[in-house]
Structure 1
Amino acid sequence: MIDFANGSVFKLNPTPVESLADELSRLLIPEETILAAFKGPRDFVAFTSKRIVAVNVQGLTGKKRDYSSLPYSKIQAFSIETAGTFDLDAELELWFSGLGKVRFEFKGSADIRSIGRMIAHYVL
């Protein structure tokens, strides 16, 4: 599992959902769809209709991958922080029962308010 306790996990940029569809299709359950996708230099995160899937690409070749599934049903609280003038990154913090805090950093081009609204839709 990804070490979420070790600070921010990724600096993420928005990416087309279609770019991760093949990679994640075997992990999704029936009627689960990818709603939003974000990529870092190697790692990526997908927000689905059921959970958040964080993928940590490992090794020199990138063939080894760790898939962490974070169900919305286990989120106890969440926080968003928008990008500012000097701090260009936005942040999403989620508190999961049994796991603790998970933090994702997004590049300023990510619409963090929409991400927060999506999380609220599935959590509240």
Structure 2
Amino acid sequence: MGLFNALLGNAGEMSIADATEELSTILGPNENIELAYKLVRDMIILTDYRLILIDKQGITGKKVEYRSIAYKSITMYAVETKGHFDLDAELKLWISGQHEPTTLEFNGKTNVYAMQGLLAAKVAGK
């Protein structure tokens, strides 16, 4: 099922230790990863300060775009849980300065409630 989800473009949970090791060069001095998701090579990281979208490009994946989004820039979000016939969950983020939402898809094993709870605390400024 992991390969099937990867082919569909659905991210799954990743260990915080693995994410911290891989991203040690781009994290701030006291920045900690709270949730991490991986989709083949790309990653979605929620830290205590920001949301990081990582897009590894090209055949080798050596070219990488790190999109850093401050939680205060997220004006609205929507979380759609998986259903009986829909095997993935979805997160839509409306970011100030963008007209269309950024949409991220997660596999059915992902705990979207944990992600939603963390986003609620961060976006509300808690």
- Could you tell me the TM-score, scaled by structure 1's length? 0.87
Q: CA RMSD in A?
A: 1.1
Q: What is the CA–CA distance in structure 1 between the aligned matches of 2:102 and 2:69, rounded to whole Å?
A: 10
The whole-number CA distance in structure 1 between the counterparts of 2:118 and 2:14 is 17
d(CA) in 2 for partners of 1:11, 1:88: 10
If each structure's helix is expressed as a fraction of its own residues, which one has the higher value? 2
Identical amino acids, percent of aligned pairs: 37
Aligned mates of 2:103, 2:52 — CA distance in 1? 13
Counterpart in 2 of 1:118? Answer: 118
Within 2, Cα distance between the matches of 1:22 and 1:64? 18
Partner of 1:19: 18
Gaps of 5+ in 1: 1-9
Equivalents in 2 of 1:117, 1:13: separation in Å? 17
Counterpart of 1:75 in structure 2: which amino acid?
I
CA distance in 2, matches of 1:60, 1:123: 35
| Structure 2 gaps, min length 5 | 1-8
Query: After superposition, where does 1:6-45 map in structure 2 within 5 Å?
Result: 10-45=9-44
Cα distance in 2, alignment partners of residues 63 and 52 from structure 1 = 21
Aligned length, in residue pairs: 115
Q: Distance in 1 between matches of 2:94 and 2:70?
A: 11
Q: Which residue of 2 aligns with 1:60?
A: 59
2:85 matched residue in structure 1? 86
**Secondary structure of 1:84's partner?**
coil
TM (norm. structure 2) is 0.86
Other-structure match for 1:72 = 71
What is the deviation of 1:30?
Answer: 2.5
